[in-house]
Structure 1
């Protein structure tokens, strides 16, 4: 059972009692989307209703490193002070794979004065949603999340490969939308769906994507904050289920050479709080001006937001020509070669799909960034380019080609920083620079193969 938006802490206590919970996983999503926090006995959680963690815990890179100096410490206090964490009762779920009755609750991060910590990913998404609410708009989103099942791999020097299914064989060819290929992993997906049902995750359809062992799960449309929480929970869930079946699930953007990358396509629309009408459609059912302005905002700001949509060096291996991933900011109706797609839909379901985002993106950050782009488009009345009705892969690259280039564009785009928060952009870009520097210390097999004796 999932608690609802108006749940109080006393009702949370009743929920914990009903489920006989003895332990609480107190979770905080960090910049990468990793679950940080503490595990508390039920009694301790009830007594404190929260906990403290150093504020840098949500502001480190995927390697666990921090910047040693620079603008990072204009935001992060060098005294390593604490954040005060408060549980959001609406996020409580049972941990279905735990031996003892265990709950998991996502926490928000506050400073000692009770202000949301501005660089915590959940705070950033709250900030953007508040801007929409101030305009009388409710953003509605629906993620489509791709991932790979791979054979267990304990040596990072060994390439990943497709896992063995129930037939005893691994996939060796493309199996897009194959029911039989999904059925190869029925025992795993039965557990995934059972876990999701116990957690009341808002998952819809499961399909086999193009790559060997590549799957996609779709989520029902809902409010961005709740859906970001669900994607966060789902990633934990499918990784856990996969390990229990002798394989790994990975959300890397490009885990296997020669196979398509994995995306997190996000469908988005706006609803009027006053009337409940889809603001992307006029009364006569035609596309509204807000629909076009939103696209214009995505076109203008996606290049600068790419470090948020494609956050790692590996992310840019996915964004290559003719590889089922966009290389452009063109838009089109029912056109999967563009970065910004408008699916065919009834007027009340008119929406825009951002196809640029990778599966490796932090769901809170990715949703905040794509909504920020659209928000700026409407506020600044940005007109889009003419609709692309052909193959957009035949055009030029319109996206940054590397993490370094993307970080430069993000730092230079002050409009996005104003919406997402200067503190967040500062911390994020400084952390990503550290990650990039760590990567540059590694000598790849390609370099040894082609440069060792030839240069």
Structure 2
């Protein structure tokens, strides 16, 4: 059987077409540096050709800001005369989206020689996965997604507001944290999400109502770290497309409401051995594994350089304005949600750590890449993580960037970030973020007019 450069086979397309005769179109989704899906919708009869020879897309997609505008300094805009590259489907990602009635498949970009395209963010994680495997490790992980469900209609004063419950049509102004009855009132929506996940090789697990009106959290099943990052892309599209059919918008901003909780994307990570055993498992009963502690030490040492990956937008930094479960530090602790790297209480053979800094607006491939790279560096250097902390000290995180611009500057100067992303993606990512910063820095907001316009 012939396999594509991505490892996919034509049999996947044939199986899909036989299983879903009602699917007349398929969404072809490539993830840009922001984590946004770019691509096209193809017709049913075109699917097999995608699995034979790929699909052409412009590499300039990796040099665009969130609005789709080209950033000339990215090095991706017309750097080869504007020619397209070939995108090939990723194995195991072809599925059916019941909310749209279409199929969906993730793709990655390859150059003319069939090699991974250097500015495609997924390949930054692929490179770290390969590095780990050469060392005898199999990275395993899972993400938790926090997000808001927002009403499509604004309130009487033009304000955004939480969505009405899908079952009752009622809207609650209260936080209702972990209220099971609130989940029941939103059950028709989440039942549709879970039903869709079954068609997408996506295992969604626990659901809770979070610490704000309209905020929820979904956890995704633990598995191979690369597929776990793919799961985030698939889950976000599933939630978004389903929400629209219910008259809602799914909001993955890190801080959509200034007075309410921010939304994180917590990464749970461990390393498995050749036989599948957890190499982070406790030793001598309940003693934390030195290998895991060294991994935490490496992440602590590099986290300041990676803050632009973990908090990539201006809005991302509003999440750190309050310390309410949103750590802007490099501390670690056991069963403590105020630290950056938390070791959950579930120990023994299930031991792992949770990286809590990234916002739900960040690119999961880049988050996983810098986290895994830091962990591997820590193990290689046998880095001591220092003592565990409990709670947040005002001095914590003093060496971290304190603003979006600081994070841009630090990531630009960082040999670690450049090495993990690669020169081309590093250049493009930094250039795009600089352009976004300049756009927002030159925009005068209504808040500024209200505060200063008639006073100073």
Regarding TM over 0.5, the answer is yes
Structure 1, residues 68-117: CA drift from partner, whole Å, max 9, x if none?
A: 24xx2289725222111111232111121234xx3211112100011101
**In 2, Cα distance between equivalents of 1:30 and 1:161:** 29
Moved more, 258-267 or 409-418: 409-418
Match of 1:327 in 2: 328
Match of 1:145 in 2: 145
Match of 1:162 in 2: 162
Moved more, 36-45 or 419-428: 36-45
Equivalent positions of 1:293-372 (< 5 A) are 293-372=294-373
Equivalent positions of 1:167-206 (< 5 A) are 167-206=168-207
Number of equivalences: 444
Structure 1, residues 146-174: CA drift from partner, whole Å, max 9, x if none?
A: 0001111579x943211222444322222
**In 1, Cα distance between equivalents of 2:108 and 2:315:** 29
Q: How far has the Cα of 1:35 moved from its partner?
A: 1.6
Q: CA RMSD in A?
A: 2.1
CA contact (8 A) 1:339 1:356 kept: yes
Q: How far has the Cα of 1:37 moved from its partner?
A: 1.3
Q: How far has the Cα of 1:225 moved from its partner?
A: 1.5
Match of 1:59 in 2: 63
Equivalent positions of 1:13-412 (< 5 A) are 13-20=14-21, 21-49=23-51, 50-69=54-73, 72-73=74-75, 77-99=79-101, 102-153=102-153, 158-165=158-165, 166-273=167-274, 275-281=275-281, 283-285=283-285, 286-389=287-390, 391-398=391-398, 399-412=400-413
Cα distance change on mapping 1:440 and 1:141 into 2, 3 Å? same
Q: How far has the Cα of 1:347 moved from its partner?
A: 2.2
Cα distance change on mapping 1:383 and 1:179 into 2, 3 Å? same
Q: How far has the Cα of 1:410 moved from its partner?
A: 0.9
Q: How far has the Cα of 1:407 moved from its partner?
A: 1.0
Q: How far has the Cα of 1:419 moved from its partner?
A: 2.7
Cα distance change on mapping 1:153 and 1:414 into 2, 3 Å? farther
**In 1, Cα distance between equivalents of 2:134 and 2:142:** 22
**In 2, Cα distance between equivalents of 1:98 and 1:248:** 15
Q: How far has the Cα of 1:381 moved from its partner?
A: 2.2
Structure 1, residues 29-62: CA drift from partner, whole Å, max 9, x if none?
A: 1112222112222333323531111101133211
Moved more, 13-22 or 86-95: 13-22
TM-score, structure 1 normalization: 0.92
Task: Say which SS state the counterpart of residue 306 (structure 2) adopts.
Answer: helix
Cα distance change on mapping 1:74 and 1:264 into 2, 3 Å? closer
Structure 1, residues 215-262: CA drift from partner, whole Å, max 9, x if none?
A: 000011111221111111111111111111111110100001200100
CA contact (8 A) 1:373 1:416 kept: no
Q: How far has the Cα of 1:6 moved from its partner?
A: 8.1
TM-score, structure 2 normalization: 0.92
Structure 1 runs, 4 residues or longer, greater than 6 Å off: none
Moved more, 414-423 or 403-412: 414-423
Cα distance change on mapping 1:378 and 1:321 into 2, 3 Å? same
Structure 1 unaligned residues grouped into runs of 5+: none
Q: How far has the Cα of 1:354 moved from its partner?
A: 0.5
**In 2, Cα distance between equivalents of 1:407 and 1:385:** 27
Task: Say which SS state the counterpart of residue 75 (structure 2) adopts.
Answer: helix
CA contact (8 A) 1:91 1:105 kept: yes
**In 1, Cα distance between equivalents of 2:154 and 2:175:** 25
CA contact (8 A) 1:162 1:213 kept: yes
**In 1, Cα distance between equivalents of 2:209 and 2:121:** 30
**In 1, Cα distance between equivalents of 2:153 and 2:135:** 49
Cα distance change on mapping 1:387 and 1:198 into 2, 3 Å? same
**In 2, Cα distance between equivalents of 1:400 and 1:415:** 15
Task: Say which SS state the counterpart of residue 377 (structure 2) adopts.
Answer: helix
